[in-house]
Amino acid sequence: MDAQTLIARRIALELQDGMLVNLGIGIPTLVAGYVPRDITVFFQSENGLIGTGPIPEGAMAQPRLTDAGGRPVTAIPGACTFDSAMSFGLIRGGHVDMTVLGGLQVDGSGLLANWMIPGKMVPGMGGAMDLVTGARRVVVAMQHTAKGKPKIVERCSLPLTSARPVDLVVTELAVLALRDGRLQLVETAPGVSVEQVLAATEARLDIAPDVRPMALP
């Protein structure tokens, strides 16, 4: 299983029946493909849709029904559409149960940087700052390192997305959960040791007394 699939499948286990969930672009988008069969989850697209369905087959694409990246999507029965003030009222107001976002850096206290690299890449924060500030649960889906450099660092050198720490970080090596204001190593991926995780991490991690193998469906 490749790194992205592993991360997406692990995060899918965090989904619960009836949740309203927002998925960011990149690895987070893949999570929608692994929703457990016995539950119903409503995905929100921040351009104004609850009930995002699968990507339509070519001719079935409706140009006025797209995801936040402008790509055609479908809407499941019971879906609804709304304007951007409603969309961000839902997000900022704590009505979104869980958001899954990509990350550039996460620090040891769970603070996320994911919207710009000064001088290099300035895409803008889009909805990320509102999502991290307002969603009830924030999950980061990202590779553990970038070009060999740890992305889980003692202190973010990149501009922060929010002063609110994230709740869970899932990488291809490990699952880290926020406990008492620090990231704690709680699960390791198949075939990965605690030492390997620590070696690929710059931040000082707390280690759970019972580190488990990564739960996978």
Partner 1 sequence: MQTTTAEEVAARIPDGASLMIGGFMGVGSPERVIDELVRQGRRDLTVIANDSAVPGVGIGKLVSARALSRLIASHIGLNPETQQQMIAGTMQVDLVPQGTLIERIRSAGCGLGGVLTPTGVGTVVEEGKRRIEVDGKPYLLETALHADFALVQAFMADYLGNLVYALTARNFNPVIALAGRTVVAEVEQIVPIGMIPPDHVVTPAVLVDLLVARG
Which residues are the active-site residues? Answer: 46
Are the CB atoms for 143 and 149 separated by under 8 Å? no
Report the alpha-carbon distance of residue 86 to residue 124 in Å, rounded.
Answer: 21
Q: What single-letter DSSP state applies at residue 1?
A: -
CB of 14 to partner 1, least distance (A): 23
Looking from the CA of 214 toward its CB, the CA atoms found within 13 Å total 26
Residue 124 within binding range of partner 1, rule CB under 8 A: yes
| Binding-site member from 4, 81, 109, 184 for partner 1 (CB under 8 A) | 81
Distances from the Cα of 165 to the Cα of 139, 190, 201, 213, angstroms = 10, 27, 18, 24
Site string for partner 1, 12-51 (x = CB under 8 A): ---------------------------------xxxxx--
Q: Please identify, using beta-carbon distances, which residue of 115 and 172 lies nearer to partner 1.
A: 115
Distances from the Cα of 66 to the Cα of 72, 76, 85, angstroms = 4, 13, 18
| Binding-site member from 40, 54, 76, 83 for partner 1 (CB under 8 A) | 83
Choose the binding region for partner 1 from 31-39, 138-146, 157-165, 177-185 (rule: CB under 8 A): 157-165
- Residue list 162-181, contact with partner 1 (CB under 8 A): 162-163
